[in-house]
Structure 1
Amino acid sequence: MAARGKKHAGKDPVSDECEETNPFTETREEDVTDEHGEREPFAEKDEHTGTNTKKPEDTAEDLTAKRKRMKMDKACSKTKTKSKSALRKKQLKRQKRDYMHSLKLLNVLEEYITDEQKEEEEEEGEEEELIKIFQDQQKRWQQYRSVRRERLNEMKQLRDQFLKTVENFEDLCDRVFSDEDSELDN
């Protein structure tokens, strides 16, 4: 009794009694399969009684296997969460890289557009300058032509005057010669 008292010291006496009489907590050492014949090798429970027919060593192995599976599941879930976070990080990096590339592309496009506009403005300016130069050249050409016409007109007038004076001179010479001939003849 004293040994039993030491063994149950600090425990609830009511639960001790329940534990002693609880048929589910007792382990059966005899093999249940002997009564019914051989059972299927993978059956975990006896069909007739519904109790676990495995030996305690088998249940311990099952528990350790379950623990290992739970650890593996936890590790797998950790790796899944890690892989999900890694995928999310990669996606964020990709999105950031794409965003940076799109910003660079926009900057390059803006520079291209501004360069094109500057070139168009310069071309328009060059065209305007060429138009001005062309107009100036046309004015100069017209002035040159007008000056040339005036000179030609002056030259024509001078020629006409020269021809008249030559004719007059010839007439005069003819008269003078004819007068001299007539005097000589007379």
Structure 2
Amino acid sequence: MASQDKEQAGKDQISDEREERNPFTETGKEDVTAGHGETEPFAETHEHKGVDTKKPEDIAEGLAAKRKRIEMDTEARRKAKKKKSKRALRKKQLKKQKRDYKHSLKLLNVLDKCITDEQKNEEEEEREEEELIKIFQEQQKRWYRYRSLRRERLRAMKLLREQFVKVIKKFEDYYRGVFYDEDNEFDN
């Protein structure tokens, strides 16, 4: 009984039923992998000694194949890295171009605004200059009128002076004449 308990202790009754129903489980001493083309890992070792019995040429070929695979993997990694770095570089260049484009647009807008402000300032200066020219012309007209009026007044004053001088001379002549006549009368 003890031997039966030991046999059943390692096995579970439920798992035994599943194994019976599962067609993929091992049914005997057959190798499960043999049907799929797989071999045992120690197939090329001597069964009794456990020593590897491969020939040195086979080992060299295996190592060369392994080296070739490593080199191919390394080359593939380099190419992938190169592509990745090219993509990253291209991405950076595109980002830089976008940034430069945005900055150039901002610069164009600022320059445009600066040019329009400068044009407005020039127009205002021209208007102010035109106004100053008009004011200056008005002042010149006024000054010309003032000078012409002053000339006219001076001419009129000159005429009046001449007339005054003539009248005074006549008056002096008349006064002398009257005075001379009176002196003559007193003398007589």
TM-score range, shorter chain: 0.5 to 0.7
Structure 1 residues 185, 7: CA separation in 2 closer, same or farther (over 3 Å shift)? closer
1:74 equivalent in structure 2: 76
Gaps of 5+ in 2: 1-28, 37-53
- Equivalent residue runs for 1:166-177 within 5 Å: 166-177=168-179
- Residue 7 of structure 1 deviates from its aligned partner by 5.5
- Equivalent residue runs for 1:73-152 within 5 Å: 73-152=75-154
- 2:112 partner letter: E
- 2:101 partner letter: Y
- Three-state SS of the structure 2 residue aligned to 1:132 is helix
When the two structures are superposed, what TM-score results if normalisation uses the length of structure 1?
0.67
- 2:131 partner letter: E
Gaps of 5+ in 1: 13-28, 31-53
Instruction: State the distance in 1 between where 2:32 and 2:106 align.
Output: 79
- Identity percentage over the alignment? 57
- Residue 141 of structure 1 deviates from its aligned partner by 0.6
Per-residue CA deviations over 1:25-64 (Å, capped at 9, x if unaligned) read: xxxx78xxxxxxxxxxxxxxxxxxxxxxx71111221122
Number of positions where the alignment pairs a residue of Structure 1 with one of Structure 2: 144
Structure 1 residues 153, 174: CA separation in 2 closer, same or farther (over 3 Å shift)? same
2:158 equivalent in structure 1: 156
Per-residue CA deviations over 1:67-126 (Å, capped at 9, x if unaligned) read: 211221221122012111111112102211221232122123212321221122022112
Instruction: State the superposition RMSD in angstroms.
Output: 2.5
When the two structures are superposed, what TM-score results if normalisation uses the length of structure 2?
0.67
Per-residue CA deviations over 1:124-172 (Å, capped at 9, x if unaligned) read: 1122012101111111111211220222123113212321221121011
Where in structure 1 do 4 or more consecutive aligned residues deviate above 4 Å? 7-10
